[in-house]
Structure 1
Amino acid sequence: MVDTRYTSHLNAFPPVQLPSPLTGMEMETGEQRQPQAHRAPYPVQDVLDELPPALSNVHLTESEQLRDSRDPRDPLAGYSPQGRRFHESYAQAVADAPQFTPQVQLHWCKTLLELSQDAEFIREYTINGEKLPQRIADSKTASRNQKIMLEHALKVLSKLIKLRHAPAFYLMGGLYSHKVEGLSRFQFIERDDARALSCYERGARLGHGPSCYRAGLSFEFGRGTPVDTDAAARFYRMGAGASDVDCMYRLASLFVEKQISEGIEWYLRAAAQGSPHACFELGKIYEFSALTPALQQRLQQAFPGESFPQTTRALQYYYKCAHEHGYSLAQWKLGHCYEFGELGLPVHAKKSLAWYYASVSGGKSAGTTANAMGMLGLAGWYFTGVPGVLQPNWQEACKWVSQCAAHTEGKLARADYILGQFYDSGVGCPRDHHTAQIHYKRALAHGFHRAAAHIDNTEGAGA
């Protein structure tokens, strides 16, 4: 039978309605609603009441419940890592049910949301954290199990929102904006940036830094509301007051374009609090040549007693960002400097290779992904080779360029142009004029105009 020790504590609260699924077209195209005119935030109750229709209350049949055949020496024998994690979170939530500690219950809610989207998990475990004796084979029963988990997750979330727990507003906003860490599938809720913003605003007014950040982004980039950089700055300031480093960084980015001295001050504060993004931007400021001419002029006017560039200070920030934060963009930058002898560094192939490899490993900073330019840097070294260090390997060079093009989804025109040349000449890959033309055209479409002549040269050529 389903254990009601925990769920009974929630029955006094109105059920939260699960959002209707997206249509197939919306799921495939990622179609979003157009920004709406700014309006007063939804009341808390409206956020709950306006969720789309509820799922029916469905339960697993008796035959689908766990038969107690577990090893008494290890009650979780045979459980997967996900199963053990779910069971632990469930047990904590049950023990905490009388107190309903927000942090414990929010963790349980997130666990339910995450693992309800795991196609294998919903076929093997119940909402009580119990492993089924047999894997659910039919999709209909698995779907019912998934709905039970989703419905309960939103019921927990609704109570947390009623308790005005700020991270709960943040999570609800994340569900509406399809931005929740650990979740990649949101078929159960239609994207609605306006409602997401309403939730973020509520969380922000409770002093929650991440909610301030998301609200600021919404106003800065017009998600669910017209663009309003003044409103964005207000929310970023609120978040900075709550020591949110992402808010400090975004505030700095806004001020650099208007009041550069204040922008740099916020970059310094964010970097001191561990922001790799701010650290990298400070490196660019001291490097100077990486800035736009307009920004260079404003910098010189704001600091007439300073001389630019200051390569030593630039390198200090780049090293700190690359080494301490594992920020892939800074790692690529150092690889580039050691390849071409920039910022006063010597040309050093081994160090360049090492930093390029670090940059494509994904880094250790939150949100850092493998760096596409680092992939091109490795391709270049494999193409030419390094005497005594690396033998030329055109196949490996082609592989890295291909990875770069795939990683950027064709948006880095230079990668497609190089691939076009490889396929056109049969370097590192079979000669294929048709494939070469595809890459040349893609490069041209993204602004790499040198590809135009090659498209003409390969037009009508055989594969």
Structure 2
Amino acid sequence: MQKKVIFTLLCFLFLNKAQAGFSSVEPAPNGGLPTEQPLSDLTPAALSYEQAQQLEAAAEKNDSQALEQLRHAAEAGDAEAQNGMGLYDYSQRKYADALSWYNKAAAQGNAHAEANLGVLYTYGLGVAQNYAQALSWYRKAAEQGEARAQTSLGDRYISGQGVAQDFAQAAVWYGKAAQQGDAYAQNGLGALYAGGRGVAQNFSRAASWYCKSAVQGNVRAQSGLGDLYARGQGVAQDYAKASYWLCKAARKGYAPAEAVIQQYSRSGLIAAQCADTSAGQQMDCPGK
């Protein structure tokens, strides 16, 4: 079954079912680097949101027809369709069924399915929790260049789940995913540069990576970038830009951003209340 057709079926099934949520899961805020349980990998590896948007208009089947076509292709042995069925079952919280489909696709070397198996093993969904197995699947996918798996592998090196904690290795894998545009990895890499963990501390690089992630809507990165502007670290101190980025995160309920706003508002440097006018503004990244 052609990949474009599978993309079309998947986007129709999922984008028209927001409650399914696999493409809209947000990581819990923690102020930057993952702690205890990294959550960037809760969103299964699949087609990008942009790909799905482009193909959504092409889907003309109803839900049952689209699902039947996808199932037929999966049962015929198409790895992309098998991963797609796994995504569908995951979205319906049928984790054991998702596990079965992912295993079929992963047996054919499908990197998305390998990454998704890592998610199930990490959180014990449909299978006993096993960090070593999760790490193994993430690595298989990451070595094929799967960006979300690379990010999740970086998360494991930070949390020490299934592997010895190693910030330098985290930076390596975050870097690979960040270069592919993964917002979670870009934020993680920014946090490593800001904290000087696994890499030499470099606030300019931190600001650059935070901004790449922030423009994609990552609240941690928006908060981190805003804080750098407020402190003048890696960028020229600019309270207007600090307020802009902090308010973007605060409007989404990100508590650390709200705390930074209150901290600077007590000195009169940033308004305690985010102005509505900044919501529609566009702000360039550092260096542009």
> What TM-score, normalized to structure 1?
0.44
Shift of 1:451: 2.6
Say yes or no: does 1:319 pair with 2:139.
yes
1:417–1:279 CA distance, 2 compared to 1 (3 A): same
After superposition, give the CA deviation of every residue in 1:148-172 in whole Å (9 maximum; x if it has no partner). Answer: xxxxxxxxxxxxxxxxxxxxxxxxx
User: In the alignment, residue 358 of structure 1 is paired with which amino acid?
Assistant: K
* 1:347 corresponds to: 165
* 1:250 corresponds to: 84
- Counterpart Cα distance in 2 of 1:382 and 1:261: 39
Say yes or no: does 1:432 pair with 2:238.
yes
- Counterpart Cα distance in 1 of 2:227 and 2:79: 44
* 2:209 corresponds to: 400
Structure with larger Rg: 1
User: In the alignment, residue 152 of structure 2 is paired with which amino acid?
Assistant: K
Contact persistence 1:360–1:374 (CA under 8 A): yes
* 2:153 corresponds to: 334
Say yes or no: does 1:379 pair with 2:190.
yes
Say yes or no: does 1:357 pair with 2:175.
yes
After superposition, give the CA deviation of every residue in 1:306-329 in whole Å (9 maximum; x if it has no partner). Answer: xx2112211111111111x21111
Aligned-residue sequence identity (percent) comes to: 24
- Counterpart Cα distance in 2 of 1:397 and 1:258: 37
Shift of 1:228: 4.8
- Counterpart Cα distance in 2 of 1:390 and 1:220: 39
3-state DSSP of counterpart to 2:116: helix
> What TM-score, normalized to structure 2?
0.69
Shift of 1:437: 0.8
- Counterpart Cα distance in 2 of 1:429 and 1:248: 47
- Counterpart Cα distance in 2 of 1:403 and 1:394: 14
3-state DSSP of counterpart to 2:112: helix
1:339–1:209 CA distance, 2 compared to 1 (3 A): closer
1:232–1:448 CA distance, 2 compared to 1 (3 A): same
Shift of 1:210: 4.0
Which residue, out of 48, 71, 74, partners 1:237?
Answer: 71
User: In the alignment, residue 104 of structure 2 is paired with which amino acid?
Assistant: R
Shift of 1:416: 0.8
Contact persistence 1:216–1:235 (CA under 8 A): no
Shift of 1:380: 2.2
- Counterpart Cα distance in 2 of 1:213 and 1:401: 30
1:445–1:278 CA distance, 2 compared to 1 (3 A): same
Aligned Cα root-mean-square deviation (Å): 2.8
Name the count of aligned residue pairs.
226
3-state DSSP of counterpart to 1:254: helix
Contact persistence 2:210–2:225 (CA under 8 A): yes
After superposition, give the CA deviation of every residue in 1:379-407 in whole Å (9 maximum; x if it has no partner). Answer: 22222325xx743222221122122223x
> Structure 2: where are the runs of 5+ without partners?
17-55, 273-288
1:209–1:241 CA distance, 2 compared to 1 (3 A): farther
Shift of 1:352: 1.8
